[in-house]
Amino acid sequence: MPALRKVNLEKNFFYSMPEKPWAVIWTQLKYLDITGNFIECDCNLLWLLPIISPPIANFTSTPAPKPIPGQIIRGSCARAMKPK
């Protein structure tokens, strides 16, 4: 899918985003909307930390609480994610 640039998966009842299905297309995406899903902010999302940077992406899984300075992945999380 070399032409895929924009994906809207809003309100699809997703609970996780494992790396394997996204690995093939992640670098070509310019826009990804996963708002309204119930994605768990846990170690399964750590693969996103080195990829997403604040100037080019805002990753939000659900309406976010007050952002933490430097936080990249925001949402209603069971626990806060912190880079190693």
**Any bridge partners for residue 32, and if so which?**
7
pLDDT, tens only, 30-84: 888 888 888 877 777 778 777 765 534 445 544 544 544 444 443 434 344 444 4
Task: Name the one residue in this structure whose structure tokens are 């659900």.
Answer: 62
**pTM of the predicted model as reported, rounded to 2 decimal places:** 0.55
Total length of the chain:
84
Q: How many domains, in total, are found in the chain? A: 1
Range of the domain at 66: 1-83
Q: Report which DSSP code applies to 12.
A: S
Residue 28: pLDDT over 50: yes
Q: What is the mean pLDDT of residues 16-29?
A: 84
Q: What was the pLDDT predicted at 81? A: 44
